[in-house]
Amino acid sequence: MTVPLALEPAGTGWQLELRGDWSLAAMPQIEAQLESLPRALRGPVLCDWSHAAAPGIAPAWALLRRLSDAGLPAAEISHSGSPPHFLELLQKLELDLLRPSGPQVAPLKLEGPIAKLGRWSVLQGRHARGVLEFLGRIAAVIGQAFRRPRALRISSLARHVYETGITAIPIVSLIAFLISVIVAYIGAQQLSRFGADIFVVDLVTIAVLREMGVLLTAIIVAGRSGSAFAAEIGVMQLNEETDALRAMGMNPIEMLVVPRVLALIIVLPLLTVIADAMGLAGGGLLSLIDLNIPLPQFTYRLRESLSPTTFWSGLIKAPVFAALIAMVGTYRGMQVRDSARELGRLTTAAVVQSIFLVILADALFAVLFQKINF
Amino acid sequence: MLDRSVDPVIRVRSLGNRFGSQVVHDGLDMEVRQNEIFGVVGGSGTGKSVLLRSILGLRHPDAGTVELYGRDVQTLAAADRSSLVQSYGVTFQNGALISSLTVAQNIQLPLREHYSLSEYTLDELAQLNLALVGLEPEAGAKFPSQLSGGMIKRAALARALALEPKLLFLDEPTSGLDPISAAAFDELLLYLHAQLRLTVVMITHDLDTLFETCTRVGVIVDKHMISDTLDGMLENPHPWIHSYFHGARARAAEKENHG
């Protein structure tokens, strides 16, 4: 392979012979050769292009930059042997380009942990204010709805009830059924060792109705709809659709956020009821197959194990979880600015945070219910 | 007069495109020759962008063939395809800069993908391409969302030029620009065309740009393309072409150019 360039002394200066492939494809080799040129050059340099094949813009540019880095003024560089047609343009651009004088020294950063902590707390404070403002705006829209029912946007609400609720029924049912089969199966394995098979029914009933039905549904909905809310509103932000709504005198909170929040508050309790039913069905089926407990006995035992509050203590959590999921999703969506990466980051944040908040709220409910014997 | 003996850079033969029952192109022919600036014109919904997408191989046409440099775009093997893609540059209507990368990183993106270059060289080349399109070196560190409309168009052009293409496709390069920025863009295009010996295919609605820059124009009417020089177009009797090139706006653009 030919070496792309050769530097030879000629008279008072140098002759630089350019050989072989000088296209963009040969750039790595050319780059390496340019590196090996002396750091500083004196005297006129004549570049001979007559043996350079298919010279490209980038290699020619790299050559010019390298020569001027070596301290050669433009007047001392000449070209011969049919130089490429764009060379003149490059020479002109190269002259225009102001070089930074001397190496750039990055300013020293003396940022102690205290400054970091301060910055962090200011940021958190701003976040908290943003969340509070968001909640306030939602409350304002809902407050208005008493005087102006149109603010509720019934058609939009209906669409979201359909999209977040009706279409989620199959997946919620399936997962509730399977999880409760698993719980019943593990319970049966353990309890049958004491001959307490029948308590599997209590286990399944209480676990599904109090906790699992609603928690599973909330997590599925957070993954399905929380992310969808954030992504939908986020893309609208990127396309300036929300700005367009504002400019037309419409409130994006009223148009986009409140219908989603209300829809989820309506839908999640209903989905929870379905999940409860499917969970009990799963437990019943496993009891029948694995433990030979016939269905009438299962339902009898089920009624025995229920206290009046069991079902309600699960269901009452659903609207709270729904509000958390919907508000986190829409809030994160409204925060999207500028780039596709932000959209991805905030959509992920929406799902992770809403699931976290749901579980945190569930723990608080558990403590509360225990204190008030609910 | 253009040299007719040279093979055309782009040759589209009896192209057909339809969406469901809606026929967009039916037997459309188009030829672009070396070193031309070819303007593509047509009313809304006549399939200018569809034509561009067919030429670029982004859309599989329902009928007909598309040849770039004498090679059929649709039947190319993957390896040939990659080399073909490197031989042209494209700018999209809204810039289509990657929003999570800075302008300099956008320009370096195709270079990084196809060549292994040092960071120093990549920075140098970003500088070069910014300088080519008349952007300040500082613009390289900015994100697309921080740029004005005119700067986005220039940055997109800088990215399209990064692989040193001989052929450039521009989709509405001056749409959404103020007349001064648009005129500056026309000037830049003519300058690059002359200096880099580019062949340019440009979709445009901007009559000023058309009169200022284009050597030939193809008008999409009745699902076909009628190609001619601008002077030829001015005498074309087709009613749509006549009203396009003889409307009030066209007369103003023409007067400005000739006067």
pLDDT at B245: 85
| Per-residue model confidence as pLDDT tens digits over B91-130 | 888 888 888 889 999 999 888 888 888 888 888 889 889 9
- Closest chain B residue to A30, measured at CA: B117
Distance CA A91, CA A84 (A): 12
pLDDT along chain A (374 residues), means of 10: 74 82 84 82 83 84 84 81 82 70 55 87 93 93 88 90 95 96 92 88 92 95 96 92 85 92 96 96 92 90 88 94 96 90 94 96 94 86
The answer to whether residues B130 and B161 touch, using CB atoms and an 8 Å cutoff, is no
CA proximity to A30, closest of A57, A50, A9, A8: A57
pLDDT at B257: 67
Residues 6+ apart with CB under 8 A from B161: B89, B129, B132, B133, B168, B192, B196
What are the strands, taking DSSP E only, across chain B? 10-19, 22-32, 37-42, 63-68, 71-72, 88-91, 167-171, 199-203, 216-221, 224-229
User: Which single residue is written with the structure tokens 């509720």?
Assistant: A152
Determine whether the interchain pair A93/B131 forms a contact, defined as Cβ–Cβ distance below 8 Å: yes
Distance CA A49, CA A80 (A): 6
| Per-residue model confidence as pLDDT tens digits over B130-153 | 988 888 888 889 998 888 888 898
Between the alpha carbon of residue B200 and those of residues A62, B56, B79, the distances in Å are 26, 14, 25
* B8/A178: higher pLDDT: A178
DSSP A173-186: HHHHHHHHHHHHHH
* Percent helix / strand / coil, chain A, rounded to 5: 75, 5, 20
CB distance from B131 to chain A under 8 Å?
Answer: yes
Determine whether the interchain pair B131/A340 forms a contact, defined as Cβ–Cβ distance below 8 Å: no
- Closest chain A residue to B163, measured at CA: A24
φ, ψ at A71 (rounded to 5°): 90, 20
Determine whether the interchain pair B124/A24 forms a contact, defined as Cβ–Cβ distance below 8 Å: no
Q: Which of residues 153-182 of B touch A (CB under 8 A)?
A: 163-164
Residue A91, Cβ density class (10 Å: 0-12 exposed, 13-18 middle, ≥19 buried): middle
Token pair for B214: 């284009």
Question: Domain extents for chain A?
Answer: 5-96, 153-371
Determine whether the interchain pair B164/A24 forms a contact, defined as Cβ–Cβ distance below 8 Å: yes
Between the alpha carbon of residue B6 and those of residues A311, B31, B198, the distances in Å are 83, 12, 15
Report the alpha-carbon angle A265-A271-A275, nearest 5: 145
CA proximity to A63, closest of A81, A96, A90: A90
Give the range among B20-24, B45-49, B170-174, B246-250 with minimum mean pLDDT: B246-250
pLDDT at A1: 53
Distance CA A67, CA A40 (A): 9
CB distance from B234 to chain A under 8 Å?
Answer: no
What is the CATH number assigned to the segment(s) A5-96? 3.30.750.24
CA proximity to B171, closest of B61, B14, B42, B30: B42
Q: Is the pLDDT of residue B248 over 80?
A: no
| Confidence label for B2 from pLDDT (cuts 50, 70 and 90) | very low
Helices and strands, counts by H and E, chain A = 16, 4
Report ipTM (2 d.p.). 0.76
Of B99, B118, B144, Cβ closest to residue A31 = B118
The letter for the amino acid at A354 is S
pLDDT at A184: 92
Question: Domain extents for chain B?
Answer: 94-164
| Per-residue model confidence as pLDDT tens digits over A51-103 | 888 888 888 888 888 888 888 787 788 888 888 888 888 887 877 765 554 44
Give the DSSP H or E segment for A239. Answer: none
